[in-house]
């Protein structure tokens, strides 16, 4: 019933984009659209279910979550950030809706869900014959509170560390990614991690910093 997929290192760079930039990207690339519900687990709860699902290398991971992506469900473990925050070890298991609901129910013991709800827009590009996945997230709720933001987050997942280094340095790999130069690089910044948002939402300080930075980048 369950299938497991281990990704030794997930290489990903994260940006924040203004809504006008986001709308131009959507109009150009016509990305696929899916609703995502993402719930983070306490270590105790995560390890209980991890054992049942066949995870053994517990110490390699420090973040556990369940996710509904469209009509599919997953249990995912991620390791600490490596290589300037662009690399993480990942192990993912497909689960069914029943198990997803069971685990989610048990996360609500403290009365406050550690959860993010977002709409994901995704498309692929080809760079030097390698697939590059672009995922743009428009958040609908964080830490159980509905939210409407003037910006979105954009994650670019690559197979080649050199590509990630180029993007972190502010260099455009291909014309199709030129829009990243109008964004804010936030890879590795904890206040913009999904786990932090699921637990605490966006801080006023973070929102003010984003507004100021995007205003300086506006044409």
What are the sequence ranges of the domains in the chain?
3-217
Give pLDDT tens digits along the chain (219 positions): 455 555 567 899 999 999 999 999 999 999 999 999 999 998 888 888 888 887 777 777 889 999 999 999 999 988 888 766 788 888 889 999 999 999 999 887 666 779 999 999 999 999 889 899 999 999 999 998 999 999 999 999 998 888 999 998 888 778 899 999 999 999 989 899 999 999 999 999 999 999 999 999 887
Using DSSP bridges, classify how beta strands 184-185 and 145-146 pair: parallel, antiparallel or unpaired. unpaired
CATH match of 3-217 with 1.20.1630.10: no
In sequence order, what are the residues at sequence separation of 6 or more whose Cβ sits closer than 8 angstroms to the Cβ of residue 111?
Answer: none
Q: How far is CA 36 from the centre of its chain?
A: 10
Helix (H, G, I), strand (E, B) or coil at 91: strand
Output Rg (C-alpha) for the chain, integer angstroms: 17
Helix (H, G, I), strand (E, B) or coil at 47: helix
Which own/partner contact pairs does 168-176 have at CB distance under 8 Å and 24+ positions apart?
168/13, 168/84, 168/86, 173/127, 173/132, 174/125, 174/127, 176/29, 176/125
Model confidence, pTM? 0.90
CA nearest neighbour of 75 among 40, 109, 107: 40
CA nearest neighbour of 150 among 162, 138, 159, 142: 138
Helix (H, G, I), strand (E, B) or coil at 93: strand
Cα torsion 63, 64, 68, 72: sign: positive
Helix (H) or strand (E) holding 197: helix 194-200
């Amino acid at each position: 019933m369950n299938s497991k997929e281990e990704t030794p290192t997930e290489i990903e760079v994260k940006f924040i984009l203004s809504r006008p930039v986001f709308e131009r990207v959507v109009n150009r690339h016509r990305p696929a659209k899916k609703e995502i519900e993402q719930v983070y687990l306490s270590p105790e709860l995560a390890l209980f279910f991890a054992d049942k699902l066949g995870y053994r290398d517990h110490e390699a991971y420090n973040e556990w979550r369940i996710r509904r992506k469209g009509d599919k469900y997953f249990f995912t473990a991620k390791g600490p950030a490596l290589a300037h925050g662009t690399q993480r070890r990942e192990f993912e298991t497909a689960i069914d809706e029943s198990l997803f609901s069971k685990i989610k129910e048990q996360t609500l013991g403290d009365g406050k869900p550690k959860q993010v709800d977002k709409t994901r827009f995704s498309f692929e590009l080809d760079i030097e014959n390698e697939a590059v996945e672009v995922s743009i997230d428009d958040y609908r709720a964080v830490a159980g509170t509905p939210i409407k933001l003037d910006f979105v987050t954009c994650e670019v997942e690559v197979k080649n560390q050199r590509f990630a280094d180029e993007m972190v340095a502010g260099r455009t790999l291909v014309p199709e990614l030129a829009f990243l130069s109008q964004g804010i690089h936030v890879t590795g910044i904890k206040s913009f991690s999904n786990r932090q948002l699921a637990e605490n939402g966006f801080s006023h300080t973070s929102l003010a910093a984003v507004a100021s930075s995007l205003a300086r980048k506006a044409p």
